[in-house]
Chains A and B, each alone.
Chain A
Amino acid sequence: MGRFIARRLGLGLLTIFVTTIAVTLLIHIVPGDPVRIMYAQSQGTTDADIAAIRHRLGLDRGVFVQYGLFVGRLAQGDLGRTVRGDQPVLPLILDRLPNTLLLAAAAMVIALVLGIGAGFVSAWREGSLVDTGLMTTAIGGVAIPQFWLGLMLMLVFGVRLAWLPVGGTGLPNLVLPALTLGLGNAAIVARMCRAAMLDTMRQEFARAARARGLPKFLVMTRHVLRPGLVPVATMMGMQFAYMMGGAIVVENIFSWNGIGRLAISAIFERDYPLIQGFILVFATSVVVVSLLIDLLQLALDPRLRRQ
């Protein structure tokens, strides 16, 4: 158990470390002069201004010094100031982070509940019409682009039926974006859960459970679903990371006030300090949440708990 946690923790820390390096190097890979590109849109920026900004960002010094400066400031919770509006980056992002996490978590719940439910029913009735129907839906669900699904949901439930708000940030506003993000992933979970359960059903212990005379429901839940959930849990951490990635797109469709919207506008405006901050916070949240989800695996799979 200690080894399992230590390995996950180690990978997480390594990820954050690599992120800090990548983020420092980011500006240097930009073709041309990043400062001039950043301020290309604002008129009346003098050469003196640019030199000052360059100095403030530490771009006039060596890469190692820059990295040192970046990490030093990071340790004090300072990620610099935005190019547009000259605001501190970190509070700006942290202010919106809960919205993104809420959206991803809600979508995750939808994906798991619908996905595991559909996968279970499908595996139980393998080869039946229900199975075929559910799995056909799932194959379609995987293929539908999230942003298109979002637009269609918006059109039907927001515009035509006007049941739900199409934009903004709040609890009723959460429904459509969470569905958009959750449905496609539910299809992935359903396919995976069904495949894992069918694999488990062919294991000898499932047959042994039937040979003991257990009713089918007990066999399917205790001896098929539970072991079948182990591979599902293994990929849940990754699944959440993809939810966060998907949230960036969905937030922009539904004007959900999370870090994804912030990031896209930052990329448009070439606001590199904000982009840097976004990447760092995004990676860190993914690492932390994945780690928490990995702990769930310990509950599901006693083999990981061995010393």
Chain B
Amino acid sequence: MSAQRDAWGETLVEIAGVDQRVVVVDGDLANSTKADLFAAAHPERFVEIGIAEQNMVGVAFGMSTLGYRPWLSSFAVFLTHRALDQVRMLVSQTRANVKIAGSYSGLLNGSSGKTHQDIEDLAIMRAMPGMTVLAPADEHEMRAATRWAAEHDGPVYLRIARDAVDPVFGASDVLDPTSPTVIVEGHELTIVSTGVQTSRCVQAVELLRERGLDPRLVHVPMLKPVDGPALLDLVGSGPIVTVEEHSIIGGLGSLVSELVAESGRGGPVLRIGLDDAWSESGPSGFLLDKYGLSPRRVVERVLRWRS
């Protein structure tokens, strides 16, 4: 079991071995994001910019106009918040081939606390016209998503988790990171999740089964563009629970609610995530429990909602 950041760093090294257009532009966090693997393997295509995220984005965009496909290496929060205007004006507006690798996303960032957590990245990037938004479930899907993003023509936001999670997929599975997919079949209700929260939801589904429920689990690796009809088919017409390591505003919960509301069928929808709340520093298990994202807490919430 390895973490998504490792899978991202290793995959990028492999891609760059055959694609000379790939460069990494780093904001002094390569040894956290695992872009240091790239720096060691392809030093001539590793650009250190220091602690200056806005300049990072500008330099990467400038390089992209010369045919490079730069990947930004930093924490998600600095790319989607501090450098938001740069991402918006230089990268998204121009449809530049800049790939935004938002590492240490969500709550779990090694106890750095709320200043370094990013629970709004999906909302912000979803709202940005033309931005592709990916949130893979585990290390295997991270490899597939990284390869997909590298080939894709245009800007991509890739949500990367710091901590390892139990794999959802097998190492030899052929994965399509663009399509929503059923992870566990079931009836009665559908749990929809994204990113590494899907791994925790696999455990939640097992616990719910022990309690006599028969939920389906649907994973959404690409939040934008999203195949709405396909996702609606997968979630069915019964009750829906969305779960995300993210604010319940603007991310997966909003996406599913929008689709269901427009379709006129399905629901009701329960959104599990950060409910307009700031988190804090703490061990990963503590944070997941306190903010309702651990398998046990997801189960409690679903049972309470269904009773």
Chain A bound to chain B = no
* Chain B residues within 8 Å of A, Cβ to Cβ: none
* Chain A residues within 8 Å of B, Cβ to Cβ: none
